Every structure is written in structure tokens, then in C-alpha cells.
Chains A and B, each alone.
Chain A
């Protein structure tokens, strides 16, 4: 299956924009989640306070990350868990495959985890000869289809039930149906069988508690409980930034995460797992292994602006709020993490060279910052990354900068004009006179080919949308005449 990459973001976006079905699905999903998030946030009278509190807790964790990690590891291992440190995706995959192979495992059940997507764990496990089954319904659907998730919370948001029914008919041999309950129960039956056969359960982690060595995982379906209860080996893959200092801190984050993600007060299940079972006859796996993944995260600590990317709790609220994501969906970003948070995390994780279009996939409107439960200033991060791209371009590195010579001249001209009021006034008068050539019915529509060639920037803008012309009277003229009237 050919997945689009971040390098071709503009083409990906154009393809997505032409896909009416996708855009309809995105419209439904993002507006529904947006409304639910808002009403869930309003059900608490201290939402803003909670956000600040959450951010404070996360800042504290990140600034003392080494200490909290060591505390977490010490506590988890004291209760029977084994912890593995992985500097990168390769090391993480190697550990997980080795653990599975050492136990002669054949079937691995997985619950939804962005971190395992990030390291492409499934490919490694399959290459090691294991059968890997995604058990979250949405992930299962896209695994059957050989696709990638397009939304953090609803991975198969881009597919209609008709497409899913066809997929199930083709791959699972069921009678065609468009009944969602039937499709769901089909998946339940098939996955139950896999759960019964599974030797290894692989999960992600939402929060790790330094104080107690606990991992906390949230879900609605119950597949995470099955994944972490039935197989004799449970492997939890966790980014090093997922820690909270104290058990009581969960109070803040369990209020914020479900409300921001799906608009629920709580998701159906929270599993709080602290070490292995205490008595041999107890229910649950015999072994718990936690894989701590760096994979570029510690680098982000080096600057307060980039560091805040590590506060992210993967709720997906910024995706739903983003006017760019709302139109193009997750696949166009060509990266595991889509949307505004993806546009800042991906370039930092995998380098700017092949992801330099992503920080520009934003109008900097600030909606993402407004909804972020941990107050990440994503627009600021986007600007930070843009400036890095520009600088590396000027240094002649291979990252594709966008500051062409013409653009630099244009900005110098702009500075000259904007810092001299008389010149500004004069230029505005000229522009006002000139625009008469292209204003039609009070707006500047698509330019003719020759005009577009004459002013290419304006041509590019008006190719997709109208431009509002300058008012016929300038603000300063207004001001003067109003003052005169007042006298």
C-alpha cells in the first residue's frame, strides 16, 4: 500500500480537497467532537484552572524528567514490572520482538497506540514471523484495508460504513450489510477468537505515575482491558514524556483528556496497572514489560518553545479545531501524527529535511491553542519551526526553505514602506487606483492569466478564493473627516 508522505503535502492536500466523501466525513466528525468538547468543558466550572494546573504539572515533569523517570522505573520494577530503555524506534522494536520470540509467541494482540504507530512496530513484528492483530475497532478496519489512521481518536474516520461493509465482505466473508451493529459484532466475534489465542498483548500508555510506577490507559471498547488481561505477556510502549509526578495528578488529567478527546466525562474504562499480579493464582498476565521510548523526544527539551510539544496528551482536540485538518484530514500530512500537533511533532521527531511543508500547513489562526487541554502554544511552535527552516535554508542545508530572492526583496520593500507613513499613504493611494482594474462586483476574483503572471502572489491567492479589495476611503481619511465633524 502506498501511503502519502509529508514531502508531498501540497499534492496530498489537493487530492484530499477533491474527495467529497472524505470532506463530508471530516465535517461531521470535527464539528461533532468540537461541540461535545465544548459542552463537556462547560460542565466543569474550573476548566481554565484545570488547564493551567495540567500544564504546570507537565512543565514540572519535563524540567525534572530524569528524576521522575528514575523514580518511575524504580517503583515499577519494585512491583514486578521490567523496564526497557529504547533510544530509538529500532531499539524499541528489537526489544519487543525479542521478548515475543523468547517466549515462542505466535499471536500478538494490540490495542490502539500512537507510539507503536510511530515506531512502525507491526512491520517489525510481522517481519519476525508473528501474527499481529489490531483490536481497536477503527484500527482493525484500517489494518484490514492496509491503510494508516487518519485521526488520533477515530482512526477510520475517512471510511464510510458502506466501504467498511465491502471490506468485511471481501476480507472476512460476511454477508453484505450496512448495519453498524452487525459490523461491530462481526469484529467482536473474530477478535474474541484472536484474544483467546494471543500470547502477547501490546498496549500504549496514557499516563505513567512516577510516585507509584503505575501505568494508566484509557479506552471505550474494552479491547485494552482484554489486551492487558488475557495474554501471559503484556508489553506497554511508552514515550518518556508520559509521566505524571503523583497518583493524585490523575484527577486533573482524567478530567481533561476524555472531555477534550471525545467530550465524555470519563471514557468507559480506565486501567491502572501497577506491576505484575501479586499472587500466582490471580487473574492477569504473568509478566509486564514497559518499553520507554526516546526517539527524538529528549532533544525537544533543549528549548522552552519546543519543549512544550512534550506536554501533549494526544487528545486530538487540535485536529478537530483546525480549519486545515477539517478540510484535508489526517492522511494528507503523510505522518503518524496529523493535524496541528502533528505539524509540530513530526518535524521534530524525524527532522525538518523531509517534513518542511508541515509547519506551513496552518493559517496560524490559534484555534488549536485555544482548545489544547495543556495549553501548548502550537502557533508559536509553528513559527519557531518555520524560522528554523528558513535559517537552515540560508545556511545552505538541504531543508527546503521558502525564502526566495524575490521574497526577500519584497519584504525589504515592505519594511521600507511600512516604516515611512508618507510612503505608506502614497503606496495605498496607488494600490487603490490600480485595483480598479481588477475589482469586479466589490471583490477581487480569479485573475486573468496575464494579470496573474504580472503579480503571481496575488494570482495564487485568487486562484482559490476571493480577495477583499481596499476600501475606497482610507482609514486616515475617515479619521480626519470624523474629527472634523466632531468639531
Chain B
């Protein structure tokens, strides 16, 4: 018997088992009838405890949420300031063992443009095509497609930008976003990602702070597999 045939048989057995067992439950089942009738499950909007946006700007809330999970947030008012912030972060990193000499970039035009204005010496600044090479970089610089204020989350969409590994393998991840990309809630971000007729990207990644673990005696350790530092520059 070939694998395709075996798979078809397994599929049929499982589906039949599901149907038979569900049918067996109907006699004793009150939920069953309720749910079958009420086809569309009731949906209440987002009622999370996020602060009202009119008194509290999305950017401030985003920064507060990000800092609460050990991320760093720098708010700038122009592209020139963004370049300056980037230079500041990299110069500071050079005082640490994190080096910041080899920089991996995503292919976002904004990232290229800002980095080209940095007057710093590097061993390497490039868009890394080969995954195997990405291991040796010190810093990854990317943009993001959306951000969530109430959780301090970046939303990365793999079809829009090549940033899957640049945001993951280097010990430092710097993301540059525009304030207009920030939405208030997780629900809004999900609705934006998946619009009614739109296709989803192959991979969408939500990032909330640097990589962390508490697997040894519940002691927090930052940067176990992913970046140990996360900076987000928000351009107003």
C-alpha cells in the first residue's frame, strides 16, 4: 500500500470516528443543539483594560508596554533623529561585548536609507541572503509592518519584508517603525493582518520584547535563543 493510500485511509477512519462518536453523544447532549442552532458564535468586541487613547497616545502606551517587557523604545520626530538614535544605539553597544561591527539588514528601503546615513565604520553591513551566514552577525536592523500599543508588540509580515532571520539570529534586534503603524489592541492587529479577501503571508511573527526564559529555577534570563536586546525606534 502506498503512502497516499494509507493517508486517505487514516483520514477516512478518523473522520468516521469523529462523526460516529459525535452522533453517539447527541442523546445526552444539551450543548449540541444550542450550538448547532446558534451557528455564529457570539462575538464581543475588545474590552481590554487599555487606557483610553485620547488621554494617552498610542506611542506612549506602546513605549510603556515595551519597556515593561525589557525592550527599549526611542521616540524620534524625524528621519535625521532616527539616524542619530541608530548611531547612538550602535555606539553604546560597542562599549559592550556585543560588538555591533557586523550588521544584518532587512530589505526594507527605509532601513537601507537610514543605515546609509550612518557615518560609522563597520566590518559588514548587508542584506544577508544565506541563512547560514546570518549566525555571525552582531545586530539585525529591520522595520515592522504593524505594532500593538497595549502589549508592546511588533508584527512582522514575511511577504512584505525579508526580516525573519535578521530579527532572530543576531544578539541585538533594532526595529524602526512609523508611529502610524501602531494600533491599540491585539484584535485590531489581527483584523489588519487578515482582511476579508486578503491572502495571509507565509509567516507572521509577533515579537514582544527580547527572548526570555525562566526554565532554571524560575530565574529570568534574557536572550536565550533569540536577541537579548530589542530596540524599537518610533518615528512620529
- Taking beta carbons and an 8 Å cutoff, which residues of A are in contact with B? 25, 28-29, 32, 43-46, 49, 53, 56-57, 59-60, 63, 65-66, 69-70, 79, 84-87, 91, 95, 98, 135-138, 141, 154-157, 159-161, 164, 180-181, 183-185, 187-188, 191-192, 196, 212, 214, 220-223, 225-226, 228-230, 240, 245, 247-248, 250-251, 254-255, 262, 265-278, 281-284, 292, 294, 298-304, 307
CA distance A278 to B210 in the complex (A): 28
Report yes or no: A301 in contact with B18, Cβ–Cβ below 8 A. Answer: yes
Report yes or no: B32 in contact with A268, Cβ–Cβ below 8 A. Answer: no
CA distance A419 to B224 in the complex (A): 63
A32 and B41 in contact, given A60-B35, A298-B14 (Cβ under 8 angstroms):
no
Chain B residues positioned under 8 Å from A301 (CB to CB):
18, 21-22, 25
Partner of A59, one of B3, B35, B65: B35
CA distance A415 to B3 in the complex (A): 60
CA distance A262 to B42 in the complex (A): 28
Stretch in contact with the other chain, from B86-94, B110-118, B198-206:
B198-206
Interface 1/0 per residue, B220-234 and A, CB below 8 Å: 010111110000000
Can you list 21 A-B contacts (CB < 8 A)?
A53-B41, A87-B14, A137-B224, A192-B135, A221-B212, A222-B168, A225-B226, A228-B203, A248-B190, A250-B190, A251-B187, A255-B186, A266-B151, A267-B208, A269-B226, A271-B203, A277-B158, A281-B129, A282-B159, A301-B18, A302-B22
Stretch in contact with the other chain, from B46-54, B55-63, B73-81:
B46-54
A304 and B29 in contact, given A248-B194, A251-B46 (Cβ under 8 angstroms):
yes
Chain B residues positioned under 8 Å from A63 (CB to CB):
22, 31-32, 35-36
CA distance A268 to B168 in the complex (A): 12
Chain A residues positioned under 8 Å from B36 (CB to CB):
63
Chain B residues positioned under 8 Å from A91 (CB to CB):
10
Report yes or no: B31 in contact with A294, Cβ–Cβ below 8 A. Answer: no
Report yes or no: A284 in contact with B212, Cβ–Cβ below 8 A. Answer: no
Chain A residues positioned under 8 Å from B217 (CB to CB):
25, 160-161, 180
A51 CB to closest chain B CB, in angstroms? 12
CA distance A256 to B207 in the complex (A): 17
B131 at the interface (CB under 8 A from A): yes
Partner of B225, one of A66, A141, A214, A223: A223
Chain A residues positioned under 8 Å from B226 (CB to CB):
221-222, 225-226, 268-269
7 tightest CB-CB pairs across the interface, nearest first?
Answer: A222-B226, A138-B215, A222-B225, A298-B17, A85-B10, A301-B21, A270-B206
Chain B residues positioned under 8 Å from A191 (CB to CB):
225
Report yes or no: B212 in contact with A220, Cβ–Cβ below 8 A. Answer: yes
Report yes or no: A269 in contact with B206, Cβ–Cβ below 8 A. Answer: yes
The chain B residue with its CB closest to the CB of A141 is B215
B150 CB to closest chain A CB, in angstroms? 8
Chain B residues positioned under 8 Å from A302 (CB to CB):
21-22, 24-25
CA distance A275 to B200 in the complex (A): 9
B146 at the interface (CB under 8 A from A): no
B214 at the interface (CB under 8 A from A): yes
Which one of B65, B191, B216 has the highest number of Cβ atoms from chain A below 10 Å of its Cβ?
B216
Question: How many cross-chain pairs have Cβ atoms below 8 Å apart between A and B?
Answer: 253
The chain B residue with its CB closest to the CB of A155 is B215
The chain B residue with its CB closest to the CB of A112 is B215
Report yes or no: A229 in contact with B165, Cβ–Cβ below 8 A. Answer: yes
Chain A residues positioned under 8 Å from B22 (CB to CB):
63, 65-66, 301-302
Report yes or no: B3 in contact with A98, Cβ–Cβ below 8 A. Answer: yes
Report yes or no: A284 in contact with B201, Cβ–Cβ below 8 A. Answer: no
Report yes or no: B219 in contact with A180, Cβ–Cβ below 8 A. Answer: yes
Besides A154-B218, A226-B225, 14 more A-B contacts (Cβ < 8 Å) are A44-B47, A49-B47, A53-B44, A66-B22, A69-B15, A137-B216, A181-B221, A184-B224, A229-B165, A245-B41, A277-B203, A283-B131, A302-B21, A302-B22
List residues 114-136 of chain B with CB under 8 A from any CB of chain A: 129, 131-132, 135
A262 CB to closest chain B CB, in angstroms? 8
Report yes or no: A161 in contact with B225, Cβ–Cβ below 8 A. Answer: no
B213 at the interface (CB under 8 A from A): yes
B222 CB to closest chain A CB, in angstroms? 8
Report yes or no: B218 in contact with A45, Cβ–Cβ below 8 A. Answer: no
The chain B residue with its CB closest to the CB of A94 is B6
CA distance A309 to B28 in the complex (A): 17
Chain A residues positioned under 8 Å from B206 (CB to CB):
266, 269-270, 272
A304 and B31 in contact, given A248-B190, A250-B190 (Cβ under 8 angstroms):
yes
Report yes or no: A276 in contact with B202, Cβ–Cβ below 8 A. Answer: yes
Which one of B22, B46, B49, B159 has the highest number of Cβ atoms from chain A below 10 Å of its Cβ?
B22
B99 at the interface (CB under 8 A from A): no
Which one of A79, A191, A254, A302 has the highest number of Cβ atoms from chain B below 10 Å of its Cβ?
A302
A284 and B202 in contact, given A180-B219, A302-B25 (Cβ under 8 angstroms):
yes
Report yes or no: A66 in contact with B18, Cβ–Cβ below 8 A. Answer: yes
Partner of B42, one of A56, A157, A254: A56
The chain B residue with its CB closest to the CB of A279 is B159
A269 and B221 in contact, given A85-B10, A138-B215, A183-B216 (Cβ under 8 angstroms):
no
Report yes or no: B135 in contact with A196, Cβ–Cβ below 8 A. Answer: yes
Chain A residues positioned under 8 Å from B48 (CB to CB):
43-46, 255
Report yes or no: B47 in contact with A85, Cβ–Cβ below 8 A. Answer: no
CA distance A95 to B9 in the complex (A): 14
Report yes or no: B225 in contact with A135, Cβ–Cβ below 8 A. Answer: yes
The chain A residue with its CB closest to the CB of B128 is A283
Report yes or no: B7 in contact with A299, Cβ–Cβ below 8 A. Answer: no
Report yes or no: A225 in contact with B205, Cβ–Cβ below 8 A. Answer: yes
Chain A residues positioned under 8 Å from B11 (CB to CB):
85
Partner of B205, one of A155, A196, A265, A271: A271
CA distance A19 to B44 in the complex (A): 48
Chain B residues positioned under 8 Å from A220 (CB to CB):
211-213
The chain B residue with its CB closest to the CB of A55 is B31
B102 at the interface (CB under 8 A from A): no
CA distance A53 to B223 in the complex (A): 35
